[in-house]
Chains A and B, each alone.
Chain A
Amino acid sequence: MILEPLANYLFVSVVLFTVGVYGLVTKKNALRMLFAVEILINSANLNFVAFTRYLHPTSVTGQALAMFSISLAAAEAAVGLAIILAVFRLRRDVDVSEIKGLRG
């Protein structure tokens, strides 16, 4: 099977990263911001695997790093969703522009 050139994977990763940045900048709903962070992490993982496949295919370092990254993302999602649930119980909404309790 013929492989794509590395650049195609990098371009997909760039587009995913762009979508993630867009969501993180625009959205005020904490859930949507969490979605955007997950998309960003996915684009980074794609880079890890693509680079190790093309530039160092005799090792699996990139895959191991991507595994660590996915596990970290799972922990991050669990804590983030717990925070969102706690904020929702206190405020009845998760709009980050309305949550000013810690503002100095």
Chain B
Amino acid sequence: MVDAVFALLAVVTVVSAILALEAKEVVYGAVALALSFVGVAGFFALLDAVFLAMFQLTVYVGAIAVLILFTVMLVRRERWLKTKEGVYKSVGIVASLAVAVGLGYLVYSSSITHVTTTVEQAPFTLIGALILSEYWAALVALSLVLASAVVGAVVLAKLERD
């Protein structure tokens, strides 16, 4: 039996993900993408990962989606409204359906299909301790990646037109 909230979230997330790619106007696509991120945040909340749900909302919806929206508005072209994909579209549908059938069958045939749990999720306060003890090297590497990404983005944005 599928929970109503779960079903609603699944429909919203998947439909808005498809809309993000298929909406004629890219601006609407960006808004649909933001809605899809909100749906995934809802899944995190359902999975008792409340902190991660808030993190997803602030970083993905608050930062990435807004950044994408700004860029879309800066680079939008009228002729994008009538682009044709032609043969690529059928190839893409076949390829992605193959991926879906393969992965779906893998999940369906595995022994984890009916796994469920009654154990309470550990509190999210452990995340900070875990990151700073076990994954401190990854945290340092990530901070360096973020710093260099910011520098790289600024350099690219300042690129002079030849």
Give A residues with C-beta under 8 Å from B: 2-12, 14-23, 25-29, 31-32, 34-36, 38-39, 42, 45-46, 49-50, 53-55, 57-61, 63-64, 66-68, 70-79, 81-86, 88-90, 92-95
Contacts and interface: CB of A to CB of B under 8 A. Distances in A.
B102 to A, nearest CB: 9
Contacts of B115: 5-7, 54-55
Contacts of A79: 149, 152-153, 156
13 contacts: A15-B100, A18-B96, A18-B99, A19-B96, A21-B95, A35-B21, A49-B43, A49-B47, A53-B48, A78-B67, A78-B149, A82-B157, A86-B159
A35 B2 CA distance: 29
A7 to B, nearest CB: 4
Contacts of B91: 25-26
Contacts of A76: 149
A46 B92 CA distance: 23
Interface residues of B, number: 86
Provide the main secondary structure of the chain B interface: helix
A21 B96 contact: yes
Interface of B: 2-3, 6, 10, 13-14, 17-18, 20-21, 26, 29-30, 33, 36-37, 40, 43-44, 46-49, 51-52, 55-56, 59-60, 63-64, 67-68, 71-72, 74-75, 77, 80, 83, 85, 88-89, 91-93, 95-97, 99-100, 103-104, 107-108, 112-117, 119-122, 124, 126-127, 130-131, 135, 138-139, 142, 145-146, 149-150, 152-154, 156-157, 159, 161-162
Contacts of A46: 40, 43-44
